[in-house]
Chains A and B, each alone.
Chain A
Amino acid sequence: MAEPTLFDLSQPGKRCITMPQPARAPEQYLPEGQLRAEPPALPEVSEPEIARHYARLAAWNFNVDRNFYPLGSCTMKYNPRASEAIAAEPGWARLHPATPEECMQGALRLMRDLETWLAAILGMDAVSLQPPAGAAGEFTSLRVFRAWHDSHGDTARRRVIVPDTAHGTNPASVARCGWDVTVLTSDEEGRVSPDALRDVLGDDVAAIMLTNPNTLGLFETHVLEIAEMAHEAGALMYCDGANLNALLGHARPGDMGFDAVHVNLHKTFSTPHGGGGPGSGPIAVVAKLEPFLPAPRVRRAGEGTRTTGGEGALEWDWDRPQSIGKVQAWFGNFLVAVRAWAYIRSMGAEGLRQATEDAVLAANYIRRALEGELDLPYPATCMHECVFSAKTLADERGVHAADIAKRLLDYGIHPPTMYFPLIVEEALMIEPTETESKATLDQFIAAMREILRDAAEQPDLLHEAPHTTPVRRVDEVNAARKPVLRWQKT
C-alpha cells in the first residue's frame, strides 16, 4: 500500500507545533510590498500523523543497520553508535560558528587533532577539513593545483589525465576547474601503464588523477613510476581516496608520490551516508601546497600576530594571501568530522590496520567463492573490492547484472554497484567492508549461488524481481520523460 504524502494528509487547521502569538502586526515594521501574498502551502498535520508517516517510510528503506550493502567503492560500514552519540552532544551540536575563539577551543582542538591524524594516516603534510564531500575535495584539490601552477606563472596547463576506470566526479571536477579531461585507457590487467601514460603526457598537463586502489579493486602497481613521470613533466598527482579503506596502516598515498588526496569520512571513517549525505571530503596535501588551502586554518595562538589566550590555545589563521578562498560556508561539515574523530580515537592505529586487513580478506573471500559462478575479467587478488561481470550470463541467458541486483533485494541484500567501472560490461562491483560477519558473507555467497542457479532455470524470476519490496521495479523511463518533481493537488 502506498504511503500518502504529508500533503495528502494535510487538512486546514491541523497543527503539530503551536507558538506564542506575536503582539505586533508585521505591517507595523515592514514596508508595504515586502509581505507574502499567499502563505506557502505547507502540510497542516498533527504530530501523531507526522510520527507515523515517517515510521512507515522508514520501514521501506534498506539501511546498514538492517541490511548488508556490498556496494563497491561506497564502503558501507556499520556506523558506530558512540560516534552518533558524541556528535549529538550540545557541546558540539549547539556550538555557533561565530563564537569567539576563546570559547571554541574544543572545536579547534578536535579539528587540529583530526588534521594531524589524517596526515599521519595518509603520509601527507597538511589537511583541510573544509570540503563538504568527496567531489568537493576533488574540486578543492584541483583548484589548489591550479593556484600552485599559476603562482609559478605556469598558466598554459589545461589538461588533466583521468583513467577510464575513474568515478564520474573526477572528470566533472576537472571541468569545474576550467580544465579538459584526457581519458587514459587501462591496460589488459586493469591498471594504468607508464607506456600508455607516456603517449598522453605533455607540458600542457596540469595533473593526473588516480584512484588507488582503482575501481577494479586493484592496486596501481606502477604508481611510483607514474608519479615520477608526472612530476618530470611538471604535473601534479592527485589521489581519489574513495578506496582508502584498502590501505589503512598498510600503505600511504604520501609515499606513492601523490601531491594531494581526498578522504571520504563517510566511507573510510565510518560516518553514516544519511541516504545521500551529508558526508565530508577533507583533503591532504604536500607542504608546498599548504599555502593555497582554503582559509581559515587552525594554528597555535602566538604563531601569528594575534593571540587568543593562554598556553596551548588555538586560533583561526585568516591571513592566507595565497589561499584559493572558500569552498563552503564555514569550516566544513564539522559534525561529520566529530564522528570521524571519535572513530579514529576508538580504533587506534592497530585497529585501523586490522580493519583494512579484514576488509581485504572479506573481498577476496567473496571473490574466491564466486569466481567459478560469474565472469571475473580481472582475476588477480583484489584489495577491498572485486568486480565481476555478468556478460556470459547476459549473452547466453538474457539475464543482466541489473536482474541479479534486483533479485538480491528479495534476499534482503542491497545490490552491489552495477555497470561500473565503465570498462567492464555487465559489471557487479562488490565491497563487503570489514564490519560484516563471516556469517553474513556466507549468506551473501549462498544467495548469489541460488540466484545464478535460478538465472539458468527460471530466468523470469530474476527479470521480474524484486518481488518482496514495497514497490516493484520502478518505471524510470516514465519518470524522466514526464518529470513530476513535486506534489500537486489532484
Chain B
Amino acid sequence: MELPNDRRYTQSHEWAKLDGDVVRVGITEFAVEQLGDIIFLDLPEVGTAVRAGAAFGEIESVKAVSDLISPVTGEVREVNEKLMDDLDAFADDPWEAGWMIVVAPEDPSELDGLLDADGYAAKAEEA
C-alpha cells in the first residue's frame, strides 16, 4: 500500500495534513474503497468546534453510514463544499482534491500522537 508520507493517519481511516498553522482533513483511499459508492457527505459548517476522536460528520454509501472522526481538536475554518457536487471526483482523489475540512488546531502537536504512513499501512492491512 502506497501512502503519502506528508501527513498523519487515524485508526478510523482519516488523514490529517499540517498546512502552515492549520490542519487539512480527509479520508484515505482505503476507506473510500471499503465504503464503495459514496452517495452523501454530511460535513460541518465553518466555525464548528471539533474534538479529536469525536465525529465531525458522516459519510454514506448506499447501504452504510460511517462517522468521520476528527484527528485534532479545534475549529473548522474551511469546508470543501464542492465535494457533494461530484462524489466520483472525490472518490478518485481522496488525497488532494478530496479534502473535507480545514481545522485551526488548538494544539498542532496533537498530530504527533497519530499514526505515520507505515503505522497506518500495517493497521489497514490487518483490516
Contacts and interface: CB of A to CB of B under 8 A. Distances in A.
Touch between chains A and B, by CB atoms below 8 Å: yes
Interface of A: 419, 476-477, 480-481
Given A419-B63, A477-B37, A480-B62, 9 more contacts: A476-B62, A477-B39, A477-B62, A480-B39, A480-B40, A480-B60, A481-B39, A481-B40, A481-B87
A380 to B, nearest CB: 28
A399 B95 CA distance: 30
Interface in B39-65: 39-40, 60, 62-63
A6 B34 CA distance: 40
11 contacts: A419-B63, A476-B62, A477-B39, A477-B62, A480-B39, A480-B40, A480-B60, A480-B62, A481-B39, A481-B40, A481-B87
B97 to A, nearest CB: 18
Contacts of B87: 481
Nearest to A418: B63
Nearest to A482: B39
A477 B63 CA distance: 10
A302 B75 CA distance: 68
What bracket does the count of chain B residues touching chain A fall in? under 10
B86 to A, nearest CB: 10
Q: Which 3 residue pairs spanning A and B have beta carbons closest together?
A: A480-B39, A477-B37, A476-B62
User: What is the predominant secondary structure among interface residues of chain B facing chain A?
Assistant: mixed
Nearest to A476: B62
Contacts of B39: 477, 480-481
Contacts of B62: 476-477, 480
B66 to A, nearest CB: 14
A481 B91 CA distance: 14
B23 to A, nearest CB: 29
A456 to B, nearest CB: 24
A77 B49 CA distance: 52
B90 to A, nearest CB: 12
Interface in B50-104: 60, 62-63, 87
Nearest to B64: A419
Contacts of A476: 62
Nearest to B60: A480
Nearest to B39: A480
Contacts of B63: 419
A481 B84 CA distance: 9
Nearest to B61: A477
B8 to A, nearest CB: 29
A419 B64 CA distance: 11
A143 B48 CA distance: 35
Nearest to A480: B39
B36 to A, nearest CB: 9
A476 B60 CA distance: 13
A477 B36 CA distance: 10
Contacts of A481: 39-40, 87
Nearest to B37: A477
A477 B39 CA distance: 6
Contacts of B60: 480
B92 to A, nearest CB: 15
Contacts of A477: 37, 39, 62
A126 B60 CA distance: 42
Contacts of A419: 63
A463 to B, nearest CB: 15
A125 to B, nearest CB: 40
A480 B63 CA distance: 10
A259 to B, nearest CB: 32
A480 B59 CA distance: 13
A475 to B, nearest CB: 10
A181 to B, nearest CB: 15
Interface in B8-28: none
A419 B40 CA distance: 21
Which interface residue of B40, B60, B63, B87 has the most chain A CB atoms within 10 A?
A: B63
A481 B40 CA distance: 7
Q: Which of A419, A476, A477 has the most CB of B within 10 A?
A: A477
Contacts of A480: 39-40, 60, 62
A471 B61 CA distance: 23
B43 to A, nearest CB: 16
Nearest to B63: A419
A302 to B, nearest CB: 55
A476 B36 CA distance: 12
A427 to B, nearest CB: 13
A233 to B, nearest CB: 30
A184 to B, nearest CB: 21
A481 B60 CA distance: 10
A481 B88 CA distance: 11
B117 to A, nearest CB: 26
A476 to B, nearest CB: 5
A481 B87 CA distance: 9
